[in-house]
Amino acid sequence: MNPVIVILGIVVTLALAGLAVHFLLTWMNRKGWVWYRNPTRPPPTSLGLIEEIYQPSVEHVIEHGIEDETVADQNESGEGDRGISGP
C-alpha cells in the first residue's frame, strides 16, 4: 500500500476520534457532568466538610428545626401527651 494513503487514513481517523470526543464532552457539559469550554465555573453551592467545620451552627439550626417540627407534630397528634390517661 502507498504510505501516503496510510498516513492520510491515520490523520482522518484521529480527526474523527477527536470530533467524537468533542461532541461527547459537549453533551456531558450540557448535562452538568463535566466543565468543558466554559469561560467561568459557577461557585459551588456547598463546601461539604469544610463548611461543616467552619460553620457548625448551620447544621445545628437545621437539626433544631427538625426537632421542633417533630415535637409540634407529636403535640398535634397527641403522641406527646404522656400524663393524660385515655377513656
| pLDDT for the residue 14 | 97
| pLDDT for the residue 34 | 84
| pLDDT for the residue 86 | 47
Report CA dihedral (31, 33, 39, 45) to the nearest 10 degrees: 100
Radius of gyration of the chain (CA): 30
11-70 confidence digits (pLDDT tens): 999 999 999 999 999 998 888 888 887 666 655 556 666 666 666 565 555 566 666 666
pTM check: above 0.95: no
